[in-house]
Structure 1
Amino acid sequence: MPKGDGGLIAQNKKARHDYSVIETYEAGLVLQGTEIKSIRARRVNLKDSHAIIRKGEIFLLNMHINEYEQGNRFNHDPTRTRKLLMKRKEIDKLIGLTKEQGYTVIPLKVYIKNGYAKVLLGLAKGKKKYDKRQDLKDKTMKREVDKALKERQRI
């Protein structure tokens, strides 16, 4: 890894359980003050966060970045709305797709790339209860098949 590259910081594991991810996009985060220090300390939570598009710009809501412990009175608000940096073509494409019923934009991962904080966004459609149960069954069956193959290879 290059110097200053922290790799994966946080991951929204529940997102793939609750949504079917159709496409993914990479976006930069507009941060203020001590937020990057908290991100590098892995003090980020993506639970219940989502992205919205207002006036041609994309924003991330409810992403929780803890206050920096060594911060002073200029520390940031943990759940403030943060602007995301994406190319105009990608934002326009997302505007068109999110206008369709059932599509939403959710953050999947937060990571450091070349010294900058990035968010992996997923264009997703909500799953129904029966879809979630079916996915759980498929996952269990795959695990059992892999286990059986591993046992068979040992013999």
Structure 2
Amino acid sequence: QRSRYTREEVWTQVDGKDLTTKRMPRTPDYYGYFTFSSAPLKNFDFSLSGTYTGKMIVPHYAGYIAEDRMETTPQFFDLNLKLNYTFVLHDHIKFQLNTGVQNIFNSFQKDLDKGEFRDAGYFYGPTQPRTFFIGFKIMN
């Protein structure tokens, strides 16, 4: 898919001059996701999921940088894994332990603005760094 306007659109003005683009900001041409789940053993199951976000343009407004400009982002692949093991405690009571990793490749934006003059709207890509987790669930 191509994310394009039919005509140039003004996204900002710099020194009285309109800056335009035909590309839709924050809309990659390539994007996809998947989820794979399996239960290879009686009480064990897992799921693997991922999201691919292709390059896109994102407006970056002046403050932290000298003047407004359109940035081209890198592509991102956010991969997640969750493992579950279920213990049967009683006839109808089950205890499930789970663990996993979110954002296995630690994909995230490397050029965040900082300080009081940062562009609060200048962000893209996965919102969390690599995160390990563990949990449990009681079911009946």
Shorter-chain TM-score range: under 0.3
- The structure carrying a bigger strand percent of its residues is 2
Max Rg structure: 2
**More contact order relative to length (CA 8 Å, sep ≥ 6):** 1
Q: Under a length normalisation based on structure 1, what TM-score does the superposition of the two structures give?
A: 0.19
Q: Under a length normalisation based on structure 2, what TM-score does the superposition of the two structures give?
A: 0.21
